[in-house]
């Protein structure tokens, strides 16, 4: 779909921003360019839609050399999302989304319909169409920014650190949403970032660059398992290499399958006893069918003991969970980033099946330091 | 009071005509100024090296005494309305040009990149992004320049351009205060009304989204 052949960009004064780059990208692939600032990743991306023109070499999209194409036409066929979002403040959301269609001379009614259709993809209600960008939160704005790039059903989308300016939690949810969207729509994505977590989470292949050259280009798993050299190792970070234990893949494999639970009808004194008995400071609340409804902890009981009697009176239903087939590395990152003590693991129907605690993480670290043999022995002893 | 009534009965219709003449001279000069300065301002944002020079030259012209400019046009264009309009046109250019340039230059670079990246031609970027976003600043320049022009248009009477300046200068020459007042008051009223009207126009042409944003801020 997209092919770089000996592409270089030389700026005035002889600085080679990109140096003899060769790369081939398949249709439907999600490619992340990553590297320290000034490594040429953004330059490489911008050469694809000719915002920057290559000095040497050629770039082909579906076999056609982009330098032989009209740049304006070319850009209309490629989606483009930037870090600053760049929604036009004087246009409504509807006008922003369908701007490319307007440039392509679509009739008004069809543009309207298309905007409405796209808005559904990101779970925003149609009343957003008439709002203006400043009335939306940062996360919502960038969702619109992404939709704008999808408007004309462009097969290729370029994204320049699109989630870089968002707060970590919004970024997390947008990444997840976007990955799903990409799979569903089967787009080819070229994504520039300097956030390794983001690249590992999203990319089918990661291109690590330094000084205008590709250092390594592989799937996230291969990069984590076999970093090409010290630079890559350092760039990935030691903690991630630990996480990349090949034998552990999903949360199900590391979770504790017997979390301490209680049903909503129990009294608070029973809850306290249970905590004491099991030496824990919080309990997961499930109903008869083992569906997770929330949690209680010792502080909540302490605060509300005088007013409430039953578990269901004080249960906190805002609870973060992971599904059992989530990758371990994503879960670990979330636990560490959000400073959570534990994460309940649920199946697709929200039935509680286990729990990942910080102790489970310690087990993984032991594993990677002393290897599996010894842990096997320990489990035999146990 | 009697003198006022008497003045109006003698000169009422003439005064209306002079007011009309006055307005005509200033508005035509201002329109020429807009037609010339807005596109030039946009062009100058594309060539920043030339922009500094052009602004400098126009700034110098602005400091010429208006009398001198009017007198200067007599040998070239003779007397009457046309040279008056042309002289005033020169004065209208700078505020509009400077505001257009500042307004268009002040549009966020990220918006322009988004526009370019999504495949806008240069013209489409001006049409859909730069001008709508710069409108409030451009309009402020136009308002300023029109109000100035209404004041300066009194000088048109010196080179036979007519307008309310006729009253003011004959009042001064003949020492008849009622003529001075009959010239000065309508000029002031005219300037105030025009500013008010242009304020409405500004509100009308400013994109809705920007107004809402300013209210929210």
Residue B108 lies in a domain: yes
Residue B213 lies in a domain: no
Cross-chain Cβ contact A90/B209 below 8 Å = yes
- Contacts B120 to A, Cβ<8 Å: 72, 103
Backbone angles phi, psi at A296, to 5 degrees: -130, 150
Q: Return the closest-CA partner of residue B34 out of B192, B127, B143.
A: B143
Cross-chain Cβ contact A133/B209 below 8 Å = yes
Report which of residues A244 and A170 the model is more confident about: A170
Q: Tens digit of pLDDT per residue, chain B (217 long)?
A: 677 788 888 888 888 899 999 999 999 999 999 999 999 999 999 998 999 899 888 888 888 887 788 888 888 888 888 888 988 898 899 899 999 999 999 999 999 999 999 999 999 999 999 999 999 999 999 999 999 999 989 988 888 888 899 999 999 999 988 889 888 999 999 999 999 999 999 999 998 888 888 887 7
Please report which confidence band the pLDDT of residue A160 belongs to, taking 50, 70 and 90 as the band edges.
Answer: very high
Residue B116 lies in a domain: yes
User: Are the beta carbons of B42 and B127 closer than 8 angstroms?
Assistant: no
How many CA atoms lie within 13 Å of A308's alpha carbon, on the beta-carbon side? Answer: 19
Minimum distance, in Å, between the CA of residue B112 and any CA atom of chain A: 8
Residue B214 lies in a domain: no
Report which of residues A31 and A381 the model is more confident about: A31
Largest CA distance in chain B: 72
User: How many Å apart are CA A283 and CA A295, to the nearest integer?
Assistant: 6
Give the per-residue pLDDT at B87.
87
Give the nearest partner residue to A72 out of B121, B129, B210, using CB atoms.
B121
Find all residues with CB under 8 Å of A45, minimum gap 6, and list them: A33, A158, A160, A190, A192
Neighbour-count burial for A91-118, b at 16+ CB within 10 Å, e otherwise: bbbbbbbbbbbbbeebeeeebbebbeeb
pLDDT in tens, A191-209: 999 888 899 889 999 999 9
Report which of residues A315 and B142 the model is more confident about: B142
Residue A374 clears pLDDT 60, i.e. is over it: no
- Contacts B125 to A, Cβ<8 Å: none
Residue A243 clears pLDDT 70, i.e. is over it: no
B112 burial level (CB within 10 Å; 0-12, 13-18, 19+): middle
Find all residues with CB under 8 Å of A54, minimum gap 6, and list them: A7, A8, A9, A18, A47, A67
Please report which confidence band the pLDDT of residue A378 belongs to, taking 50, 70 and 90 as the band edges.
Answer: very low
Q: How many CB pairs under 8 A join A and B?
A: 76
Q: What is the CATH number of the domain that holds B56?
A: 1.10.3720.10
Backbone angles phi, psi at A267, to 5 degrees: -85, 165
Backbone angles phi, psi at A11, to 5 degrees: -90, 165
- Contacts B114 to A, Cβ<8 Å: 80, 82, 84, 86-88
The total number of structural domains in chain B stands at 1
Give the per-residue pLDDT at B9.
83
> Mean pLDDT, to the nearest integer, of A234-247?
66
Residue range(s) defining the domain that contains residue B156:
15-207
- Contacts A77 to B, Cβ<8 Å: 119
User: How many Å apart are CA B167 and CA A223, to the nearest integer?
Assistant: 88
Question: A47: nearest CA in chain B?
Answer: B117
Residue A51 clears pLDDT 50, i.e. is over it: yes
Find all residues with CB under 8 Å of B31, minimum gap 6, and list them: none
Q: Return the closest-CA partner of residue A345 out of A300, A303, A286.
A: A286
Q: Are strands A342-346 and A322-323 parallel, antiparallel or unpaired?
A: parallel
Question: B215: nearest CA in chain A?
Answer: A134
Minimum distance, in Å, between the CA of residue A60 and any CA atom of chain B: 18
> Mean pLDDT, to the nearest integer, of A312-341?
77
Q: What is the DSSP string of A330-355?
A: HHHHHHHHHT-SEEEEE-TT-BEEEE
Give the per-residue pLDDT at A92.
94
Q: Which residue of B106, B113, B118 to mutate against A (max A Cβ within 10 Å)?
A: B118
- Number of Cβ atoms within 10 Å of the Cβ of A75: 25
pLDDT in tens, A14-27: 888 999 999 999 99
Give the per-residue pLDDT at A78.
95
Cross-chain Cβ contact A84/B212 below 8 Å = no
Find all residues with CB under 8 Å of A180, minimum gap 6, and list them: none
Place of tokens 């036009």: A88
Place of tokens 């029973």: A270
Give the per-residue pLDDT at A288.
82
Cβ of B123 under 8 Å from any chain A Cβ? Answer: no
Question: A79: nearest CA in chain B?
Answer: B118
Give the per-residue pLDDT at A371.
58
User: How many Å apart are CA B62 and CA A312, to the nearest integer?
Assistant: 79
Cross-chain Cβ contact A75/B117 below 8 Å = yes
Residue A216's H or E segment, with its range, is strand A213-218
Residue A325's H or E segment, with its range, is none
> What sign does the dihedral A309-A313-A317-A323 (CA atoms) show?
positive
User: How many Å apart are CA B47 and CA B25, to the nearest integer?
Assistant: 33
Phi and psi based region of residue A239 (left: phi greater than 0; alpha: psi -120 to 50; beta: remaining): alpha
Neighbour-count burial for B158-179, b at 16+ CB within 10 Å, e otherwise: bbebbbbbbbbbebeeeeeeeb
- Contacts A85 to B, Cβ<8 Å: 110
Residue B216 lies in a domain: no
The residues in B 130-159 lying below 8 A from A, measured between CB atoms, are 132-133
Cross-chain Cβ contact A91/B207 below 8 Å = yes
Our CA dihedral for A173, A174, A176, A182, rounded to 10 degrees, sits at 160
Give the nearest partner residue to B129 out of A88, A133, A158, using CB atoms.
A88
User: Are the beta carbons of A144 and A87 closer than 8 angstroms?
Assistant: yes
Find all residues with CB under 8 Å of A134, minimum gap 6, and list them: A89, B209, B212, B213, B216
pTM: 0.74
Cross-chain Cβ contact B113/A82 below 8 Å = yes
For residue A34, what are the β-bridge partners? A193, A208
Minimum distance, in Å, between the CA of residue A85 and any CA atom of chain B: 8
Give the per-residue pLDDT at A109.
94
- Contacts A105 to B, Cβ<8 Å: none
Give the three-state DSSP class for A368: helix
Question: A154: nearest CA in chain B?
Answer: B118
Cβ of B118 under 8 Å from any chain A Cβ? Answer: yes
Please report which confidence band the pLDDT of residue A381 belongs to, taking 50, 70 and 90 as the band edges.
Answer: very low
Backbone angles phi, psi at B171, to 5 degrees: -60, -45
Please report which confidence band the pLDDT of residue A238 belongs to, taking 50, 70 and 90 as the band edges.
Answer: low
Please report which confidence band the pLDDT of residue A244 belongs to, taking 50, 70 and 90 as the band edges.
Answer: low
A222 burial level (CB within 10 Å; 0-12, 13-18, 19+): middle
Give the nearest partner residue to B213 out of A84, A85, A89, using CB atoms.
A89
The mean predicted confidence, pLDDT, of chain A is 86
Phi and psi based region of residue B108 (left: phi greater than 0; alpha: psi -120 to 50; beta: remaining): beta
Reported ipTM: the value is 0.82
A318 burial level (CB within 10 Å; 0-12, 13-18, 19+): exposed
Range with the poorest average pLDDT among A79-83, A313-317, B105-109: A313-317
Phi and psi based region of residue A343 (left: phi greater than 0; alpha: psi -120 to 50; beta: remaining): beta
Cβ of B124 under 8 Å from any chain A Cβ? Answer: yes
> What sign does the dihedral B106-B109-B110-B115 (CA atoms) show?
positive
Residue B2 lies in a domain: no
> Mean pLDDT, to the nearest integer, of A324-330?
75
Residue A240 clears pLDDT 60, i.e. is over it: yes
Residue B87 lies in a domain: yes
Residue A291 clears pLDDT 80, i.e. is over it: yes
Largest CA distance in chain A: 77
Give the nearest partner residue to B117 out of A82, A85, A88, using CB atoms.
A82
User: How many Å apart are CA A11 and CA A54, to the nearest integer?
Assistant: 10
Residue B1 lies in a domain: no
């Amino acid at each position: 779909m997209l092919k770089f052949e000996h592409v270089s960009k030389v700026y005035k004064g002889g600085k080679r921003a990109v140096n003899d780059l060769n790369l081939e990208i398949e249709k439907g692939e999600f490619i992340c360019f990553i590297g320290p600032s000034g490594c040429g990743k953004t330059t490489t991306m911008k050469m694809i839609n000719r915002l920057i023109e290559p000095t040497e070499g050629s770039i082909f999209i579906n076999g056609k050399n982009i330098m032989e194409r009209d740049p304006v036409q070319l850009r209309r066929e490629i989606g483009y999302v930037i870090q600053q979002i760049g929604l036009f403040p004087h246009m409504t959301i509807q006008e922003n989304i369908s701007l490319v269609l307007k440039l392509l001379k679509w009739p008004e009614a069809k543009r309207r319909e298309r905007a409405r259709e796209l808005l559904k993809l990101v779970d925003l209600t149609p009343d957003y169409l008439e709002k203006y960008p400043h009335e939306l939160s940062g996360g919502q704005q960038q969702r619109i920014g992404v939709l704008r790039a999808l408007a004309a059903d462009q097969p290729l989308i370029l994204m320049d650190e699109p989630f870089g300016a968002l707060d970590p939690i919004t970024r997390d949810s947008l990444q997840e949403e976007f990955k799903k969207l990409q799979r569903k729509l089967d787009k080819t994505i070229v994504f520039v970032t300097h956030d390794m977590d983001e690249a590992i989470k999203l990319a089918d292949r990661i291109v690590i660059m330094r000084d205008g050259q590709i250092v390594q280009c592989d799937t996230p798993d291969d990069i984590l398992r076999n970093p090409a050299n010290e630079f890559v190792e350092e760039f990935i970070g030691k903690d991630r290499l630990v996480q990349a234990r090949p034998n552990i893949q999903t949360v199900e494999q590391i979770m504790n399958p017997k979390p301490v639970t209680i049903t909503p009808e129990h009294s608070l004194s029973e809850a306290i006893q249970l905590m004491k008995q099991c030496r824990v400071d919080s309990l997961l609340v499930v109903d008869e069918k083992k569906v997770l409804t929330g949690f209680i902890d010792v502080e909540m009981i302490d605060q509300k003991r005088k007013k409430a009697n039953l578990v269901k009176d004080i249960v906190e239903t805002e609870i973060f969970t992971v599904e059992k087939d989530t990758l371990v590395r994503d879960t670990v990152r979330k636990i560490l980033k959000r400073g959570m003590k534990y994460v309940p693991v649920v199946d697709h129907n929200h039935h509680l099946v286990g729990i990942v605690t910080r102790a489970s993480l310690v087990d993984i670290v032991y594993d990677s330091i002393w290897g599996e043999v010894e842990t096997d022995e320990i489990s035999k002893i146990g | 009071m009697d003198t006022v009534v008497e003045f109006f009965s003698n000169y009422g219709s003439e005064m209306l005509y002079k007011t009309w003449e006055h307005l005509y001279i200033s508005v035509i000069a201002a329109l020429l100024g807009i037609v010339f300065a807005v596109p030039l301002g946009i062009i100058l944002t594309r060539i920043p090296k030339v922009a500094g020079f052009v602004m400098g030259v126009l700034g110098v012209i602005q400091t010429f005494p208006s009398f001198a400019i009017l007198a200067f046009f007599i040998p070239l264009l003779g007397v009457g309305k046309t040279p008056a309009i042309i002289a005033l046109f020169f004065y209208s250019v700078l505020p509009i040009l400077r505001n257009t340039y500042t307004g268009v230059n002040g549009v966020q670079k990220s918006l322009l990149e988004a526009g370019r990246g999504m495949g806008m031609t240069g013209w489409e970027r001006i049409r859909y992004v730069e001008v709508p976003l710069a409108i409030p600043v451009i309009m402020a320049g136009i308002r300023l320049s029109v109000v100035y022009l209404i004041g300066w248009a009194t000088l048109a009477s010196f080179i036979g351009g007519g307008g309310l300046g006729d009253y003011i200068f004959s009042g001064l020459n003949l020492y008849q205060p009622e003529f001075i007042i009959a010239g000065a008051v309508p000029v002031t009223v005219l300037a105030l009304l025009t500013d008010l009207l242009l304020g409405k126009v500004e509100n009308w042409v400013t994109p809705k989204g920007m107004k809402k944003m300013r209210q929210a801020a």
